Structure 1
Amino acid sequence: MELRDVLTERVRLGQLGPVANGAAWATVTQALGEPFEVAIGKRRSWPRLFAYGDLEISVCSCKKIIMVCLQTWRDVVDLPVGLVGRETFPGQPTYAEVTEALDRAGCVWQLYEPLTFDTQCSIQVPSTGVNFTFEIPEGEDPLLNIVGLAPRHHDCPAFSRTQATP
Structure 2
Amino acid sequence: MTAAFSQATLTRGTAAPQLPTPPTGWPIGSYESYEGAQRAVEYLAGQKFPVEDVTIVGVEPMLVERISGRLTWGKVLTSGAMSGAWFGLFVGLLLSLFTPGAGFAPILIGLASGIGFGLVFAAIGYAATRGRRDFVSHSQLVARRYDVLSLPRNAERGRDLLARLAVG
- Give the TM-score band, short-chain normalised: under 0.3
Choose between structure 1 and 2: higher strand proportion. Answer: 1
Rg comparison, structure with higher value: 2
Choose between structure 1 and 2: higher helix proportion. Answer: 2
> What TM-score comes out, normalization by structure 1 length?
0.23
Higher relative CO (Cα under 8 Å, sequence separation at least 6) belongs to: 2
